[in-house]
Homo-oligomer: A and B are copies of this chain.
Amino acid sequence: MRAHRIAVVAGDGIGREVMPEGLRALEAAGRRFGFEIAATDFDWSCETYAATGRMMPEDGLEQLRPHDAILLGAVGFPGVPDHISLWGLLLPIRRAFDQYVNLRPVRLLAGVNSPLRDVAPGDIDMWIVRENSEGEYSQVGGRMFEGTPDEVVTQVATFTRRGTDRIITYAFDLARRLGRGRVSSATKSNGLWHSMPFWDARFAEIASRYPEIEHDQHHIDIMAARMVMQPRRFDVIVASNLFGDILSDLGPGVTGTIALAPSANINPERAHPSMFEPVHGSAPDIAGRGIANPIGQIWSAAMMLDHLGEGAAAQAMLAAIEGVLADPAEPRTPDLGGRATTQDLGRAIADRI
């Protein structure tokens, strides 16, 4: 039987609660579609940091490398500043394994309440393609006159042609592969003088190679407003690291799916393992109560299977999620207006798979 070697990093907070449900769903899919999940746990978290001063061991990246994929829960917990927990684990993995695509589907699902009126399931259905390796997320920069009234801090965003071209090309290829009609680019060339005019020029050039796909661009401010006012108009969106980060939380906000939304950190060349994680964070406010919604984790696991060539299994997992959500008799966690536990909902989905 074929086996997929998965590195499992549950992380912090509700990451530890939703991960077992992700694995349960994967195992159910494996039984049905004839593959095995060979999971190895990596107990790296903010607790590790408190004990060792590191979020992961020095050779952490080497430990992850031999796996076919990485399934992550959530990272970050009060007491450890975010910029430590993220730059000590999540961001180095994204970069070391050149996971330069962050891919997030945004969909209005039956059985989920969107805060918008006048929208119906299926109305909103977009893919957000976020640059995931460079741009605004950067440790370049520094401070001068620290601690004095004259203090100055610089933060340097770096855009390379290689990095910009490959993410925009990925977005157009995705549109072609999925039969999507339009790619929309997020920009802010009217405020950011160097980076965004460059981004726009690369977008225009690459778009011209895909004459069958429409393209347009929106300043990030008005694009954010349009996500709320006219979400139907978006199909595939391509955006820089920071803009993609904002849009891919806003999208699930608009569809009511923050707790459900998955994400994939992909190295399309498959030279390194890719990583799959829910959009939600470690949610310290509800951690430990067993009521977190596991769908983001399960959907992320489905994206992982798709990446590993198990397309049919991924489809079945997604169908199970949609089936449970659409059926009022099935369990719902409190965020969906129900009283079920993480396990109840996870089991219901695994049963349908």
List residues of chain A with CB under 8 Å of any chain B CB. Answer: 76, 81-83, 85-87, 91, 115-118, 136-143, 148-162, 188-198, 219-222, 224-229, 241-242, 245-246, 248-250, 252-254, 256, 258, 281
Contacts and interface: CB of A to CB of B under 8 A. Distances in A.
A150 B164 CA distance: 11
A161 B149 contact: yes
Contact of A115 (B160, B224, B228): B228
Given A152-B158, A154-B158, A224-B246, A83 B229 contact: no
A157 B159 contact: no
For the complex of A and B, the 7 pairs showing the least CB-CB separation, nearest first, are A225-B253, A117-B117, A82-B190, A155-B195, A151-B161, A221-B249, A141-B194
B220 A246 contact: yes
A107 B227 CA distance: 19
Contact of A153 (B85, B87, B151, B159): B159
Contact of A156 (B155, B196, B224): B155
Contacts of A198: 143, 151, 153
Interface residues of chain A: helix, strand, loop or mixed (majority): mixed
B193 A87 contact: yes
A4 B162 CA distance: 54
30 contacts: A83-B196, A85-B190, A115-B229, A136-B191, A136-B192, A137-B191, A138-B192, A139-B193, A139-B194, A141-B157, A142-B194, A143-B194, A150-B162, A151-B160, A153-B195, A155-B157, A155-B194, A157-B157, A191-B241, A191-B242, A192-B242, A221-B250, A222-B258, A224-B224, A224-B246, A224-B250, A224-B253, A225-B250, A228-B250, A228-B253
Instruction: Pick the most buried of A191, A195, A241: most chain B CB atoms within 10 A of its CB.
Output: A191
Contacts of A197: 81, 83
A241 B118 CA distance: 33
Q: How many copies does the complex hold?
A: 2
A3 B142 CA distance: 48
Contacts of A116: 115-117, 228
Contacts of A157: 141, 154-157
B253 A193 contact: no
A76 B220 CA distance: 16
Instruction: Pick the most buried of A137, A153, A157, A195: most chain B CB atoms within 10 A of its CB.
Output: A153
B141 A195 contact: yes
A97 B143 CA distance: 26
A220 to B, nearest CB: 6
A219 to B, nearest CB: 8
Contacts of A189: 81-83
A46 to B, nearest CB: 13
A86 B190 contact: yes
B159 A156 contact: no
A219 B76 CA distance: 13
B86 A191 contact: yes
Instruction: Pick the most buried of A81, A253, A258: most chain B CB atoms within 10 A of its CB.
Output: A253
Nearest to A254: B228
Nearest to A160: B152
Instruction: Pick the most buried of A149, A189, A224: most chain B CB atoms within 10 A of its CB.
Output: A224
Contacts of A138: 192-193
